Amino acid sequence: MTAFGIDLGTTNSCLAYIDESGRPAVVRNSIGENTTPSVVYFERRDSVVIGSAAANAALLAPELAVRHVKRRMGRKDVDFHFHGTRYTPETISALILKELAAAAERRLGRPVRDVVITVPAYFGVAEREATRRAGEIAGLDVLDVLAEPVAAALSHQHGHPAGSPRHLLVYDLGGGTFDTTVIRVDGDDVNVVCTGGDRDLGGADWDARIRAFLLEEFTARHPRLDPTADEQFMQELWIMAEQLKKELSSARSRRRNLRFAGATVQVELTRERLEELTADLLQRTLKITEDTIDRARRQGVAGFDEVVLVGGMTRMPAVASRLEGLLAKDGPADGMPRRHEPDLAVAQGAALFALIKQVQQEDDGPDGRDGPDGRDERVADRLGISAEQAESMRSRNVTTVVPRGFGVKVIDEHDPLAATDPMRARFFVVHLLPADTPLPADSGPVVFGTVLDNQPMLEVEVWEQTRPDGTEELADNTMIGRGMLRGLPPRLPRKTPIEITFHMSETGRLSVHAVEPRSGREVRFDLQIGGMDKAAVADAKAAVARHDTTS
């Protein structure tokens, strides 16, 4: 009953498991690659191609391909249509997950069912729930979704055990998202101190800058030609931009020939020019990192023992160089940035976490309650691991934090309109669970008040921060769910107390409880994200199961 870890990436995805020696190992896909491009090509109805073959097919028919779907996870207003069928970001991701699992089953000769899927640390509730649903739609049992920097830290810890407490700064710049996380490692425990990030900042933005540069060079020499309407040319340009970016991590310059409508232009791009074109993007990551370090300092983290670089984009020399400069501002840094399996560490750490979850879940079962005698042997036998591994996994403690602030929308009682025309008064967000609160988290009852005399019901709107430096202003938050407290007693005066409690589980699921204490009227709800109920998930699961996937 092997558990697997899956790095469901924006540009590439990867699957790993714990091998017979107890080490996390990446499972190569059907064509022998460690990672699979997160590209889906809709060949025909109920038949898709995944990975490198999909990327190649997209050159000829880009309108039938989807890239970077991870950036759209959790967004209700996004869907895709191919061959008369509608697809959501969850179902597109499920097709990728299905192919990863199928390829691993063929290579290992064992089923892939129990999985941990990683997400950017700065993903909110909607994105995490969408990722969990994608796994369910793919026919997988999702043990948990895990923040990518935590997975990277687990992988790093496994290869570099430490006897004394250490603080790690994980800088994770991937193909579509960026995270920076401060982690305390103490023996077998991995605890997140604080985290920051940007779900819309990653390698794809560097690719876009290169593509714009190439296009500008071409049109400057052939101003009468406009290749932007040619989807095939633009697709080739996108792939060329990604290749140039990778090559310039080791080379100083590269040349490419651009051809369109009989015209050819040779363009040279140097590493220095690339760094100029993308300087503001890198600076955005450094600003987020600096803010995260400042928050860590306020929580007692004086310095870092190691700085771990994760994600393919960290191969760019400018990343380590600029990060060293940032860390050296307050004096010599103890741990200089170093890369740790930038493409594979996240999947490997997820596999370790999947085994931890399995062992601890086994402990919660009947045998686990019988006492420690023989428990390790029973768990080890069921999971196909050694008793020593079972004991080690049981003792590990992994804690994360609330990635963003979560709260409720309330009326500003200091606004004169609050008493006379409340719907026109100022509203703001009170964060019941601030960012970086350790999970699981419980706000306890927070008292608010009704707005009107004789108010018959109360709508509880749940809001989530959208920026690391978000404020109480509505513009810095987004509504992610609502619940209705109905049947309030008659003749209640304005400002009647209403108690609201937020609870967020270890896995990031948010529950809300609102109660009017005098009458006991209450409402409880878990956030339903994205509008997919169990029936919709079941339908999507059946539809994905009908698809033939190849890579």
Residues 96 and 235 in one domain: no
Predicted local distance difference test score (pLDDT) of residue 423? 83
Which helix (DSSP H) or strand (DSSP E) does residue 16 occupy? strand 12-18
Bridge partner residues of 442 (DSSP): 503
Residues 485 and 541 in one domain: no
How many domains, in total, are found in the chain? 3
CB of 121 closer than 8 Å to CB of 179: yes
- Return the structure tokens found at 263: 């015209």
Measured CA angle at 503 (ends 502, 505), to 5 deg? 155
Cis peptide before 517 (omega within 30 of 0): no
CB of 309 closer than 8 Å to CB of 341: no
Measured CA angle at 302 (ends 315, 435), to 5 deg? 75
Q: Is 435 left (phi over 0), alpha (psi -120 to 50) or beta?
A: beta
Last residue of a domain, one of 277, 297, 325: 277
Nearest to 125 by CA among 398, 518, 475, 464: 464
Examine residue 388 and state whether it is found in any structural domain, yes or no. Answer: yes
- Return the structure tokens found at 119: 């997400």
Examine residue 370 and state whether it is found in any structural domain, yes or no. Answer: yes
Q: Determine the longest span between alpha carbons in the chain, in angstroms.
A: 81
Residues 410 and 265 in one domain: no
Examine residue 104 and state whether it is found in any structural domain, yes or no. Answer: yes
Residues 41 and 60 in one domain: yes
Residues 26 and 80 in one domain: yes
Residues 43 and 157 in one domain: yes
Residues 142 and 223 in one domain: no
Residues 87 and 154 in one domain: yes
Predicted local distance difference test score (pLDDT) of residue 302? 87
Last residue of a domain, one of 277, 303, 321: 277
- Coil vs helix vs strand at 89: helix
Cα–Cα distance measured from residue 238 to residue 59, given in angstroms and rounded to the nearest whole number: 10
Q: What is the pLDDT along the chain (551 residues), one digit of tens a residue?
A: 588 999 999 999 999 998 887 789 999 998 999 999 999 999 999 999 999 999 999 888 989 999 999 999 988 889 999 999 999 999 999 999 999 999 999 999 999 999 999 999 888 888 898 999 999 999 999 999 999 999 999 998 887 766 688 899 999 999 999 999 999 998 878 899 999 999 889 999 999 999 999 999 999 999 999 999 898 899 899 899 999 999 999 999 999 999 999 999 999 999 999 999 999 999 999 999 999 999 999 999 988 988 999 999 999 999 999 999 888 875 545 556 788 788 899 999 999 999 888 887 775 555 544 455 456 566 666 666 666 666 667 777 888 888 889 999 999 988 988 888 888 899 999 999 999 899 999 999 999 998 888 889 888 999 999 876 778 999 999 998 888 888 888 888 988 999 999 999 887 788 999 999 988 988 887 765 555 667 888 888 998 999 988 88
CATH code of residue 457: 2.60.34.10
Domain that holds residue 268: 203-277
Last residue of a domain, one of 277, 306, 325: 277
- Return the structure tokens found at 247: 């090559």
Examine residue 282 and state whether it is found in any structural domain, yes or no. Answer: no
CB of 358 closer than 8 Å to CB of 1: yes
Predicted local distance difference test score (pLDDT) of residue 162? 67
pTM: 0.88
Predicted local distance difference test score (pLDDT) of residue 187? 81
Examine residue 313 and state whether it is found in any structural domain, yes or no. Answer: no
CB of 195 closer than 8 Å to CB of 401: yes
Examine residue 283 and state whether it is found in any structural domain, yes or no. Answer: no
Residues 416 and 348 in one domain: no
Residues 374 and 273 in one domain: no
What single-letter DSSP state applies at residue 27? P
Residues 238 and 215 in one domain: yes
CATH code of residue 391: 3.30.420.40
Nearest to 152 by CA among 131, 130, 180: 180
Which helix (DSSP H) or strand (DSSP E) does residue 386 occupy? none
